[in-house]
Structure 1
Amino acid sequence: MSNNKNFFQNVVSEMKKVSWPTGQETARFTMIVTLTVIFFLAFFYVLDLGITAVIDFL
């Protein structure tokens, strides 16, 4: 049981060392991820349309 207690004490100790992002950083990172996902969504959609057109042409 003391091993579990020591484990959780170590977890708490390590979590205090974590550098959490600010709200502004979180919002900026979220926007970057969202725009990246939208970009790749559009890219692969256009790629899919092109491949479909080529297959239909053949």
Structure 2
Amino acid sequence: MFRFFKNVSREMKKVSWPNRKELTSYTITVIATVAFIALFFFLIDLGITQILNLL
């Protein structure tokens, strides 16, 4: 188990962490994508509901 944690520590030192500008850019991209997908499915759901109410 000690060797496992030693290897984890060694691998974590190799990780390239994003800087503040990259992190902000990635966060905005993710939020915009989630909002777009939520709006898309909301409109699809609304359309299906309207079609079913007509029937």
Structure 2 stretches lacking a partner, 5+ long? none
What's the counterpart of residue 54 of structure 1?
Answer: 51
Structure 1 stretches lacking a partner, 5+ long? none
RMSD: 0.8
What's the counterpart of residue 20 of structure 1?
Answer: 17
* Runs of 4+ deviating beyond 4 Å: none
Instruction: Quote the offset at 1:8 in angstroms.
Output: 1.6
What's the TM-score, normalizing by structure 1?
0.86
Question: Residues 27-46 of structure 1 correspond to what in structure 2 (within 5 A)?
Answer: 27-46=24-43
